[in-house]
Chains A and B, each alone.
Chain A
Amino acid sequence: MLNYVWAGLIILSFVFGLAYDARDLSRDTYRNGLAFEVELTSDLEFDASLRRQNVTVHIDPAFYKAHYNTESTPDSTFSGVIIRSTDGIQLRFAEGATLPDPWSTIRLETSSRDNDMRGTFLVTSTGLAAQSVPTDSTGLAASAAPNSVAGTVTFRSVRFVKMHAIAAAAISMAETAVTLALGLVGVIALWMGLLKIAEAAGLINTVVRFTQPILRPLFPEIPKDHPALGLIVLNLSANMLGLGNAATPLGIKAMEELQTLNPDPDTATNSMVMLLAMNTASVQLVPPVLLVALMGLQINELIFAITIVTSISLIVAVLSARLLSKMKRFQTKPAGPNTPQSLQTN
């Protein structure tokens, strides 16, 4: 099952990415190579000998909407800087400016490192255009003339946005996975250490003895008095109390105990799937820390709703884990402890 889900995710991302890119190409979403009308004003006079000059970029939101055939409305002014070189004039929007779509995508594609959108600026006229700027209603347009210049800006062509995006996502998520896993080292070590003490002191066995009447019917494969039961109890309790940090190492330790009972170490046992299903649906008496952080005081009202939902979904989880394990396509191949395969993998 996971094989198909996994391959499906990857193939679908490619297919959808391709479809979106093809759509962008046919619609010319980013108006590649087309000039966009802007007007620049500056505190200083426009002086060709200045290499670098701070400017304010004025645009007409209506023109923007028509040009890109979009619903998003941009601001009418942006701050930026022009840089003169032998190649011409480059206009850079201020770093991290709030840009509407599709400009935000163009920026992401053409200048993701500096986060400032860049385009080539061509002067069409100086001075006069200031009068056409609706925001400039002071009547001082004529005197502002030397500080104002109208022109067009052309951005670098943007194509295959989604192809770049899925490749970048694959790589960055692979890095995230390692960061996540290594971030777990400390907590796992802490809990494994504490559990080792608990085990040596016989504490796990005590937990097992008290809780196995409830738990054993759900995990019939686990022999009586086995420590796996105790760890499962600890894992589920930690989950209920919203202690995600402790729940994960406890769950891992429980899986390790279940693995010692597994005749075929490659393949999940019914107990493992049951534990997993109960974990994904575990009853929450105290909500997870992250949700409390997000919702603040509102969480008080929700805890009752969450408890109801999770109680029902726990029952569903137990039932579906039990029923699915009986389905033919999820049956384990008969692999006793003595088959050559399990000897190899051991």
Chain B
Amino acid sequence: METTRTIFEIVSAFVLPALIVGFPLYGLFKKVAVYEEFVVGAKDGFKVAVTIIPYLVAILFAIGMFRASGAMDFMVDGIRPLFSLIGIPPEVLPMMIIRPLTGSGSAAIVMDMIQQYGEDSILVKMAATMFGSTETTFYVIAVYFGAVNVRKTRHAVPAGLIADGVALILSVFVVRWLFG
């Protein structure tokens, strides 16, 4: 397992430089006007970033308000009995609720839990696995759909949340199975 991880780490360290150098190199080889093409492509960068601003503002301010209102604590209290019924420790509940909403917020929760329970604790392992296994779904929706100005997202939210929910719950059981 350790060697596999080392291999992946080496691959991961070289992927970026390889692509950044590889694309222009391959372009030169294929007689592409590399600099000119790069500039043409890069010109879109600003436009894309500006296009996603309204989508990000919409999503992030609503999530910010929700967090500030204390509604989250209330929800955690409300679903605690339900989750302890299926064997999910209540300490990881805040993580499960906050993860699809905000990346920085869930990173803060992992940090808090490390402070409180120590890196070795199974609770921290669960929370960290949750963090590594899921994405900030609402942020990804805002950025990806925002970039192409798609407003009607159809089943994107439920599909993303179902995948998140499964990953969050699985994290608990997989960590318990591996380390418990």
A residues sitting closer than 8 Å to B (CB atoms) are 1-2, 5-6, 9-10, 12-17, 20, 162, 165-166, 168-174, 176-178, 180-182, 184-190, 192-203, 238, 241-243, 246, 248-249, 251-252, 255-256, 258-259, 262, 265-268, 272-273, 275-277, 279-282, 284-288, 290-291, 294-296, 298-306, 308-310, 312-314, 316-317, 320-321, 324-325, 327, 330, 332
Smallest Cβ distance from B43 to chain A, in angstroms? 8
Which of A169, A280, A290, A301 is in CB contact (< 8 Å) with B140?
A280
Q: Say whether, besides A9-B65, A165-B69, A321-B155, A252 and B107 are in contact (CB < 8 Å).
A: no
Supposing A194-B38, A268-B154, A317-B162 touch, asked if A256 and B65 sit within 8 A by C-beta, the answer is no
Among A198, A242, A302, the most chain B Cβ lie within 10 Å of the Cβ of A302
User: For residue A6, which residues in chain B have a CB less than 8 angstroms away from its CB?
Assistant: 58-59, 62
Interface pair A2/B27, CB less than 8 Å apart? no
Is A170 touching B65 in the complex (CB atoms < 8 A)?
yes
Interfacial chain B residues near A203, Cβ < 8 Å: 23, 26-27
Complex Cα gap A328–B156 (Å)? 14
Give bound CA distance, A9 to B49, whole Å: 25
Smallest CB gap from B24: residue in A: A197
CB of B8 within 8 Å of the partner chain = yes
Question: Which residues of B lie under 8 Å from residue A259 when comparing CB positions?
Answer: 148, 150
Task: Determine how close the nearest CB of chain B comes to the CB of A71; give it in whole angstroms.
Answer: 16
| Interface membership of chain B positions 123-140, coded 1 if the CB is closer than 8 angstroms to chain A and 0 otherwise | 011001101111101001
What CA separation (Å) do A12 and B170 show in the bound complex? 28
Question: Contact at A302–B65, with CB atoms within 8 Å?
Answer: no
Q: Is the CB of A198 within 8 A of B171?
A: no
Beyond contacts A259-B148, A281-B134, A300-B5: 5 other A-B pairs, Cβ-Cβ < 8 A, are: A6-B62, A166-B65, A176-B60, A200-B37, A272-B156
Beta-carbon contact of A302 and B150 below 8 Å: no
User: Do A305 and B37 contact each other (CB < 8 Å), given the known contacts A243-B15, A265-B150, A280-B140?
Assistant: no
Could you say which of A276, A291, A305 contacts B171, with CB atoms under 8 Å apart?
A305
> How near does chain B come to A284, taking the closest CB pair, in angstroms?
6
Residues of B within 8 A of A171 (CB): 61
Residue in contact with B8 in the complex, picked from A15, A173, A285, A290, CB distance below 8 Å: A285
